[in-house]
Structure 1
């Protein structure tokens, strides 16, 4: 029989043991398997997204040429400098849902003569078209990044679409090239990456995949490469999360010579209808968010398997051109502007998602974080003349070493992060090599336990190493305008390289990148 005294002793023992359990370390062994057949991690996996949504463009990127905030042709100089340092390989514009209501000719010519429109998708605000094709493509030139134009299929025409292609790409004499020259741009920009509509299963027109596949073939047929050099990279509007039938139809019905990429959209959240606060969340909400984030592994695997059936040579890329965390907007802000803060939870989403993309580099060859400035999982936030870099920015900055590097496959069994009756892999790893350097990006998503990771790197013959880390005291920590550097990259030294084993000790909820040679 259990006495009250025994219950008291048991409770005391549990209270003493629980902190030890929280601080206990878990261990994992990672086999590093270099292979001559490994794919290159396409730099375009590290792409970004800029939609006419909330304060992404206006009040974010673009403040206007007359602004007192230092700018180049109306675009903030501090944002230009930050994105140059980040090394963004491509930038998607103008949407998103906005793309299928956007008529590009409204955004060219003298700004005072441009017509206005109502942004029906995002807040019902009036769009004055002061940031248009020239502004965006000139910005991409300044950044040294590849433009990705998402064009209007939902409410546009084939002629409108192909006129845009000619306007930005045609070198010779034609109505569209003459119009471009009239607008003070003699040489074409040579835009290669084109989205043929966006979310055609939803805001792009609520279409069936069979109907859209036929539309795509029509638009793709009339897209001419006016550069007469490299082919255009035509991306079909792809599946919403686990809609595998959508991918099946596109791959089955669209000939390989008409398509270069199939898109996929998937966001991370607590619950779709009740997304929760971006900063005030408990462990259960964190667990649910990471559960949807790590679902990306399954999505990429299953969509790739369908693509492999029709395209075993992997000529068509899987393009995850919208991904990231999605929560309720910050209190007091316009619900249609999707402005949210960015915590260590978002650093976990970024680190694990990019590791998944790296490890699937044979098929995933482009992706776009949603979005760049002031919207969803942004890398930059602004407030009047102030600007800050989010934890997601710092993770992507550490990870830029993987761009165009050769994948080094890894194999391991992850320790578990358990909560109630569910569990998630606590560890995420990817590795690559470039210019004689090897990089290992490692994420520990566990909110309370340290992770010791032993990487067997004997085959790489490494001699020395250094490290960087993104970490903080609480999962809910974020950079504010009052404290913009609360979370930054820091030097990381809690590792050792000895006898062909790289032993790394990761704090709870941290992202580490080790460089070795």
Structure 2
């Protein structure tokens, strides 16, 4: 029996919207072992570190070209008071992390440590301010402390704490999940708060703020509309007022039973396919938010930000339920690849996305232990394989007649999803085969340019439950994929449950 073929056409000379590198952003919250035991081990640790920041974690993330890092939350952001996390560490007050495990937080990792981490990573800082339990003055002074040069009370305080020159901090979140842990507000009430806070978040010197208003959970369009009404008017064609430049939403993937209810590694075929249906539905959600934003802002001035996304399963057995530490399988990697294909298709409006979270929490890049063990998850490898899409021009991928589909409880799931981009004379194509039992031969017809060389990589395993551990760190890792080049066609075999990238050199 012959292997079915998936055909697609890519016009490499017809570049679309640029895929913002910030779609590959990350998220680090004071939650479980993400900060303490993940990024931060302290200067006295026997593990290699730079100023208390774990060296091997930084090196692994630098290989992803990590563009930005969101901090300190999440729900933690709206109970965090930044002044508690500056100055000599031994003098910093202890607080209780009521959201995540009800554990004591010693504030040893604060503003200066976070900025040092961003500098080591080469990433733009995305600071999420406290609206829920904080004040306008508190957040305004944080901006001044971080980004102002010259002389002022906050500048003098920063210098006294060892930092002479201001930092560049472009991204600022105006609270988090204001519909829930960030204050249980109504959309209209939060929209007024967002305008008020944003008014006092000043641009200091050359540091221009990109202010991000906290928006919807999934497809709650009331939040997007209330925030757009706060800066514009329906159908008036006016340029939105510049209170905030972006609106966020959050979207978590599960297998249909809700977050944190199903097992991360022990799942059946039905649960796998339902997970893929939920992951694919983010396309509908983004389209819905875009439609509302287009009505108030047809020129696309205000950006859409998905600053929390990823899978959410039961915690690892024996760990603190409030720490949200879960294993990461090939299934999670395929969710990530599917999300990026969808993100790329919305590059015109979607300007940032942040996976939750970077280390040891939810759909993480890296798992660590206190003995020096470090595991790169299958999701990490998708980010690494896809990094060439950052700041590249998107290319449409046309499957003539539409993609082959898999019926999942009456909903059609595309078997093969793909996206492509071009930067200079290099084209990068990503493709995922979501079928559990059917392989396919892919045939990409590249038009508008001449192929001089092509290289492929593939990420798969014998089953979607496969995952990496300290004992087996490469159970799921990319290997070379054979790509055949014939008259401008790229041909390769995609086995079931696999993700692949093909890098193409075009003749000049």
The normalised TM-score by structure 1 is: 0.93
Distance 2:209 2:123 in 1: 16
Deviation at 1:420, TM superposition (A): 5.1
Whether 1:168 and 2:146 are equivalent positions in the alignment is: yes
Distance 2:444 2:469 in 1: 36
Deviation at 1:71, TM superposition (A): 0.5
- Selected match of 1:438 from 403, 417, 427: 427
Distance 2:408 2:277 in 1: 11
Corresponding position of 2:247: 262
Distance 1:273 1:344 in 2: 18
Deviation at 1:378, TM superposition (A): 0.3
Higher radius of gyration, 1 or 2: 1
- Give CA deviations for 1:301-343 in whole Å, capped at 9, x if unaligned: 1111111111111111111100001000011111100000000
Distance 1:321 1:378 in 2: 14
Deviation at 1:258, TM superposition (A): 1.4
Instruction: Give 3-state SS (helix, strand or coil) of 1:375's partner.
Output: coil
Distance 1:435 1:202 in 2: 44
Quick check: 1:437–1:515 contact (8 Å CA) kept in 2? yes
Corresponding position of 1:329: 315
- C-alpha change, 1:171 and 1:91, in structure 2 (3 Å) is same
Distance 1:138 1:514 in 2: 35
Deviation at 1:435, TM superposition (A): 2.8
Whether 1:284 and 2:261 are equivalent positions in the alignment is: no
Distance 2:140 2:396 in 1: 41
* Residues paired across the two proteins, number: 493
Quick check: 1:458–1:499 contact (8 Å CA) kept in 2? no
Distance 2:386 2:121 in 1: 18
- C-alpha change, 1:305 and 1:420, in structure 2 (3 Å) is closer
Deviation at 1:36, TM superposition (A): 5.1
- Give CA deviations for 1:9-67 in whole Å, capped at 9, x if unaligned: xxxxxxxxxxx7xxx74432212134656111110000000000000000111011000
Quick check: 2:481–2:492 contact (8 Å CA) kept in 1? no
Deviation at 1:477, TM superposition (A): 0.3
Corresponding position of 2:38: 60
Distance 1:501 1:44 in 2: 31
Distance 1:76 1:233 in 2: 29
Distance 1:275 1:451 in 2: 33
Corresponding position of 1:407: 394
Structure 2 gaps of 5+ residues are 232-239
Instruction: Give 3-state SS (helix, strand or coil) of 1:332's partner.
Output: coil
- Selected match of 1:138 from 106, 110, 116: 116
Distance 1:120 1:433 in 2: 46
Whether 1:253 and 2:230 are equivalent positions in the alignment is: yes
Corresponding position of 1:237: 214
Quick check: 1:391–1:479 contact (8 Å CA) kept in 2? yes
- C-alpha change, 1:273 and 1:77, in structure 2 (3 Å) is closer
Quick check: 1:26–1:415 contact (8 Å CA) kept in 2? no
- Selected match of 1:391 from 378, 389, 411: 378
Quick check: 2:459–2:498 contact (8 Å CA) kept in 1? yes
Corresponding position of 2:10: 32
Quick check: 1:62–1:74 contact (8 Å CA) kept in 2? yes
Higher helix fraction (1 or 2): 1
Distance 1:25 1:268 in 2: 31
Instruction: Give 3-state SS (helix, strand or coil) of 2:70's partner.
Output: strand
Instruction: Give 3-state SS (helix, strand or coil) of 2:381's partner.
Output: helix
- Give CA deviations for 1:118-171 in whole Å, capped at 9, x if unaligned: 000000000000000000001101111100000000000000000000000010
Instruction: Give 3-state SS (helix, strand or coil) of 1:320's partner.
Output: strand
Give the RMSD, CA atoms, in angstroms: 1.3
Corresponding position of 1:498: 486
Matches within 5 A, 1:456-467: 456-467=445-456
Quick check: 1:278–1:341 contact (8 Å CA) kept in 2? yes
Distance 2:409 2:77 in 1: 42
- C-alpha change, 1:420 and 1:359, in structure 2 (3 Å) is closer
Structure 1 gaps of 5+ residues are 1-19
Distance 1:31 1:259 in 2: 39
Whether 1:508 and 2:500 are equivalent positions in the alignment is: no
